[in-house]
Amino acid sequence: MRVLVCVKRVPMTGGTIVLTDDARAIETRHLGFTISPHEECGVEEAVRLVEANGGESVVLTLGPAEAEEQLRDAMAIGADRAIHLVTDGEEWDSQATSAAIVAAIRDDEGANGPCDLVVFGNESADAGGFQVGIRVAHALGRPVATGLKALTVDGATVRCEQEAAGGRDVYVLPFPAVVTVKEGLNLPRYPSVPGKLRAQRKPVETRTPERPVPRLAMTRLVVPEGEGKQAEVLGEGAAAAPRVVEVLREIGVLA
């Protein structure tokens, strides 16, 4: 089977988010980059599906030249090849992102045959639009199940378990299908050293789509005001325990 998975490069912010002077981006000079944990599980699932059923897994990103790092990471854990839609680093809104991904999938399917499954994160880590996977499914005319915590291929269908209040809702989709997944779907493997070396030689196809004028146009980012708290230190080490018990009593969680 052929499985294609879409990932987005995002900064790994630590304890606080610092913005650039124009407040249009996160200051990333001192930060590493990664992809959403949801997408990490998507990559792992794609690799497992191909290990079990044969075929090919492809990882795709739309992002700056540096996003090749995230494609190589995905190939290090087993994705076979990559498609890089290279941008100048400007933000693309969800609609434009979806359109570019759809065009790339159509071209790739034209050359290499249909994808049985296209995998997305339930939401991107940074923008959190909750929509790219659904838009791409509509454009390709394929069914889509979202927020999946389990996925089982059974012949011509895929059984999808969607996280829902008090349990999981089950869908059964025919192939070809689109899914969006969540962290917890699996426990992604760590890349091995040979895996990383192999990834350096795997092919990355690049193209440079034109960025349309965004219809959801970010004007600026704002770090929400914290309550400006500084914790009251109740004590140090084991000696603080009686004071902790007092506090638990005061707030009514300890009878």
Residues 11-50 that bind another protein (CB under 8 A): 13-17, 26, 36-38
Q: Which of 26, 31, 37, 99 binds ligand FAD (CB under 6 A)?
A: 37
Instruction: Pick the stretch among 55-63, 82-90, 199-207, 213-221 that binds another protein (CB under 8 A).
Output: 213-221
DSSP H or E segment with residue 98: helix 94-112
Backbone angles phi, psi at 80, to 5 degrees: -80, -35
Nearer to ligand AMP, 17 or 244 (CB): 17
Facing residues of 49 across strands?
Answer: none
How many CA atoms does the CB half-sphere of 79 hold within 13 Å?
A: 31
C-alpha angle 78/34/66, rounded to 5°? 90
Task: State yes or no: residue 170 binds another protein (CB under 8 A).
Answer: yes
100: tokens are: 């570019």
d(CA 241, CA 186) in angstroms, rounded, equals 38
The residues in 116-135 that bind ligand FAD, with binding defined as CB under 6 A, are 125
Nearer to ligand AMP, 9 or 15 (CB): 9
Q: Is 11 exposed, middle or buried (0-12, 13-18, 19+ CB in 10 A)?
A: middle
The residues in 45-84 that bind another protein, with binding defined as CB under 8 A, are none
200: tokens are: 């350096």
The entry of another protein, ligand AMP, ligand FAD, none near residue 200 (CB within 5 to 8 angstroms by kind) is none
Minimum distance from residue 55 beta carbon to another protein (Å): 25
Nearer to ligand AMP, 90 or 242 (CB): 90
Q: Could you write out the DSSP letters of every residue in 114-141?
A: --SEEEEESS-SSS--S-HHHHHHHHHT
The residues in 46-85 that bind ligand FAD, with binding defined as CB under 6 A, are none
Q: Are strands 33-34 and 10-11 parallel, antiparallel or unpaired?
A: antiparallel
Task: State yes or no: residue 71 binds ligand AMP (CB under 6 A).
Answer: no
Task: State yes or no: residue 34 binds ligand FAD (CB under 6 A).
Answer: yes
Count of beta carbons in the 10 Å neighbourhood of residue 137: 23
Interface contacts to ligand AMP, rule CB under 6 A: 6-8, 36, 38-39, 60-63, 94, 97, 120-121, 123-124, 127-133
Interface contacts to ligand FAD, rule CB under 6 A: 12, 34, 36-37, 125
